[in-house]
Amino acid sequence: MENVIVQSIFAFISTIGFGVVFNIKGRNLFFASIAGGLSWFVYKFCLLFDPSTSFAMFISAVCFSTYSEILARKLKTPVTTLVICALIPLVPGSGMYYTMHAAVTGDTLKALDLAIDTLSSAGSLALGTLFVSTITRHYYSKKHKKLLKKENISNNK
């Protein structure tokens, strides 16, 4: 567990670096970096209980997407600013590298196995983010319609 916390701190620090590269400034950089640390913490914490990488990626994506959606409204900043930074520690870049390495060296079965694992991880991240984004959009759409309906009723009186 201590190792997970240390890794999460390093994920936070590395996300600051990517935030600077993406030209995120001020408090948005700090909160985006927290999203990166949070995403890594949830991912590693899930792996302690379930060895499925895809499941851990999905749960992590749901957590950081929820965090990003809520905080983006509080900070009045685009959600993508936070989501992109939160994704940085979880991107399966090493999986793609090892897939390509196995393919180039001629180990087709290993390359196929690694490709499936990598694509399922990336798909889990995408589905988790899409899931939260869809629910949030639906929720705020309903809330907005209620507000418009209430305004329309009060204007007609």
68, two tokens: 């990003």
pLDDT tens track for 26-67: 999 999 999 999 999 999 999 999 888 999 999 999 999 999
47 with 115: CB under 8 angstroms?
no
pLDDT for the residue numbered 143? 81
18 with 88: CB under 8 angstroms?
yes
pLDDT for the residue numbered 154? 62
**Residue 157 reports pLDDT greater than 80:** no
The 8-class DSSP code of residue 89 comes to G
Report the predicted TM-score, pTM, of the whole model to 2 decimal places. 0.86
Domain boundaries, the chain: 2-156
